[in-house]
Amino acid sequence: VPMGTTSTVSLGVGDVALVHTGGMIPDDADAVVMVEDTQKVDAHSIEVMKAVSAGENVIQIGEDIRHGDAVLTPGRSLRPQDIGGLLALGITTVTVAVSPRVGILSTGDEVVPPDQPIQPGQVRDINSYTLAGLTTRAGGAPVLYGIIPDNRAALEAAAAKAHAECDIVVLSAGSSVSYRDMSVDVIAGLGAPGVLVHGVSVRPGKPTIIAVAGGKPVFGLPGNPVSAMVIFDLFVTPTIRLLLGTTTPPQQQVHARLARNIASTTGREDYVQVRLETREGELWAVPVFGKSNLIYTLVHAEGMVKIPLDSNGVREGAWVTVLLH
């Protein structure tokens, strides 16, 4: 039977037809014997070495998808296999959500572009680019507004521009108390209802600002890279997914034994960075301790362990869930 055509072969009792994988079988055939389960007897005969049941090695009409079935549900992120499923049905265009534009502002007189030499007291701009990467991973479209100096007028102008042009605004704030206070005032000035949350019971990331201005979410993240990335995952990623009309996919996770004691304080949710090791066939989570302003705390970590609000710590050897980065 030629590939890509409807079979015109008619089979009687004791007849067989050669059908290649993916080809159409004759109308009066109902099973396929794999060629390796046969042997040639002569020019016109074969011997079947293995019996087959009706329907074996045959894809039935409607077996993959039936008329009336939902092809994909709304709010689903398209995976490569989903695209393949659409194309198999001849669907070459679909209506998709527009990626929310996320305006990212990095602030502070001490922050310089990453391609420039630094002087004592200065740091390179990490957050603009790590937060842009997290935005893309969540399904958003990052818009970088550069480094804003410790100047209220400059911050107000940049924040207003980002608010006008984007669907979400994210400020990576300076580390000083006075600058955090300035960020609160600037965010509050973007529109009503304004600041909803100023400070969260999370470590790292306590000095977080969550606001809504003119119907748009606005976030003030701590300037320390570890804090900024943890808070982004907790609050900004779900917001991007909400604007896309979908839910946040479950974070990939593994179970492992904790390699050492971790102390915590009740009433605060702690996120501890860990790396993974295999010891005698078991997976262990080894804490990666470091200050929240040290980016290599994250570089060396493969995931993080959540210590719940009502816990005062986790003992060495306990099984924990590691949220993978």
Q: How many CB atoms lie within 10 A of CB 75?
A: 11
Tokens found for residue 39: 């042997």
Tokens found for residue 159: 């924040």
Question: Using one digit for the tens of pLDDT, what is the confidence trace for 218-242?
Answer: 999 999 999 999 999 999 999 999 9
User: How many Cα atoms sit within 13 Å of 117 on the Cβ side?
Assistant: 2
Q: pLDDT value at position 175?
A: 46
Mean pLDDT over all residues of the chain?
A: 93
Q: Which amino acid is at 43?
A: A
Q: pLDDT value at position 324?
A: 94
Q: What domains does the chain contain, in order, with CATH numbers?
A: 1-60 (no CATH), 101-244 (3.40.980.10), 253-324 (2.40.340.10)
Residues of the chain with pLDDT > 90, as a percent, come to 79
Find where tokens 């004759």 sit: 26
- CB of 305 closer than 8 Å to CB of 285: yes
- CB of 182 closer than 8 Å to CB of 141: no
Q: pLDDT value at position 178?
A: 61
Q: How many CB atoms lie within 10 A of CB 309?
A: 14
pTM to 2 decimal places: 0.83
Q: pLDDT value at position 174?
A: 58
Could you give the CA distance from residue 314 to residue 305 in angstroms, rounded to a whole number?
10
What is the DSSP secondary structure assignment for residue 149, as one 8-state letter? P
Question: Using one digit for the tens of pLDDT, what is the confidence trace for 20-39?
Answer: 988 999 988 999 999 999 99
Does the pLDDT at position 290 exceed 90? no
What's the N-to-C CA distance of the chain in angstroms? 51
List CB contacts of 75: < 8 A, sequence separation 6 or more. 244, 245, 246, 247
Residue 25 Cα distances to 4, 20, 304, angstroms? 11, 9, 54
Phi, psi of 254 (to 5 degrees): -135, 160
Q: How many CB atoms lie within 10 A of CB 175?
A: 16
∠ CA 37-42-45, nearest 5°, is: 60
Handedness of CA 93, 143, 232, 254 (dihedral sign): positive
Q: How long, in residues, is the chain?
A: 325
Q: pLDDT value at position 159?
A: 97
Q: pLDDT value at position 180?
A: 61
Does the pLDDT at position 139 exceed 80? yes
Question: Using one digit for the tens of pLDDT, what is the confidence trace for 148-195?
Answer: 998 899 999 999 999 999 999 999 975 455 666 789 999 999 999 999
Could you give the CA distance from residue 33 to residue 47 in angstroms, rounded to a whole number?
11
Phi-psi region of 137 (alpha: psi -120 to 50; beta: other; left: phi over 0): alpha
Q: How many CB atoms lie within 10 A of CB 169?
A: 29
For residue 207, cis peptide bond before it (omega within 30 degrees of 0): no
Does the pLDDT at position 113 exceed 70? yes
Tokens found for residue 236: 């900004």
Could you give the CA distance from residue 304 to residue 288 in angstroms, rounded to a whole number?
9
What is the DSSP secondary structure assignment for residue 51, as one 8-state letter? -
Average pLDDT over every residue of 254-273:
95
Could you give the CA distance from residue 75 to residue 59 in angstroms, rounded to a whole number?
30
Tokens found for residue 310: 């009502």
Could you give the CA distance from residue 234 to residue 224 in angstroms, rounded to a whole number?
16
